[in-house]
Amino acid sequence: MGALSQAEYLPRSAMSIHAHPDDQEFTVAGTLAKWARAGCQIVSVIITSGDAGSNHPEHDETYKPILARLREREQRAANRVLGIQETIFLGYPDGELEPSIALRKDLTRLIRKYKPEVVVIGDPQAVFYGSGYINHPDHRAAAQAALYAVFPSAETRLIFPDLLKEGYEPHRVRRVYIHGVEKPDAWVDISDTIAIKIKALRKHKSQLEGWNPAKLIREWAMAQGREKGLRYAEAFKVMYPNEEQPENRSSQSRSKEQQSCTDRCQGDSEVVHIWKGERLDRRGQQGKQRQRQEVTLERLWEDVTPDIHPHDERRQSEAA
Ligand SMILES: [Zn+2]
């Protein structure tokens, strides 16, 4: 099964780092729930509190701190469902995130403090998903800051030397799980935890506004698992900055995988993604009429190719 045995890797500790409340639930919650059930200690780091996540005309900037507290409560509730022990909000402003040195340092501090075996992030390179979804810049900034916090910052003694004075010694992360990538090389079987993923996602009531994401989440997970014969899966690229790659991912089997992927990609005129455009809130020009457009699953499947890139939500309401 090649990369499949990757699915059975169960870290003892992990840190999930994302820009907004609900990013984690849309993308990697099945994997986190699986790891948590196996005894993994998980820290969930949410860089902003999603305080731009409303387009209701009655809300002005005075609503932002109220929304932030609401979304923090939703995230904590989701993490309780997933079995995540600790939730940390860094309080950066939603919609204005940059991959700054300050953010990298904050994440470095957390990695050195909690010493996770694995860090889970989005794709720092993703700008486009299909032709419908422009990746939210906060997602990309979060992923870039987190990746570079893992390497080199967390493990290099003389980067951010004041962290040493704070008592945070260098830490080497073994693996980085990156979701939403163009060419995944590891698939986690989430058949036993997809219901938990959906339940956790539904805790983000302020964003879902009554919409039930179950069908969509199952369709995404089926699409991701299909290539590997899994009923439901989440797909990743895995980096091993401080670990030998598993035996089953020998250079020969890797190059085979890569070759088949290359063949597929060359066969397609463009890389096509699953995107979260299935739920798209649009406001009329006058801001009075609200029209909800739900793209049908038929449309979703038109957009699916063997290269699957389920990723971030396209929801105008989440300017987050
Ligand atoms: Zn987001």
- For the entire predicted model, the pTM comes to 0.78
CA 79 to centroid of ligand 1, rounded, Å: 16
CA 102/CA 253 separation, integer angstroms: 40
Residues with CB under 5 A from ligand 1 (ion): 20, 23, 320
Give the distance (Å) from ligand 1 centre to CA of residue 289.
25
53 alpha carbon to ligand 1 midpoint, in Å? Answer: 9
> pLDDT-based confidence at 243, cuts 50/70/90?
confident
Domains of the chain: 9-243 (3.40.50.10320)
| Max intra-chain CA distance, the chain | 60
* DSSP state, residue 223: H
Distances (CA, A) of 320 to 34, 133, 289: 27, 13, 22
The two structure tokens encoding residue 245: 């790659």
Per-residue pLDDT tens for 173-203? Answer: 999 999 999 999 999 999 999 999 999 999 9
Mind listing the pLDDT tens digit for each residue in 19-31?
Answer: 999 999 999 999 9
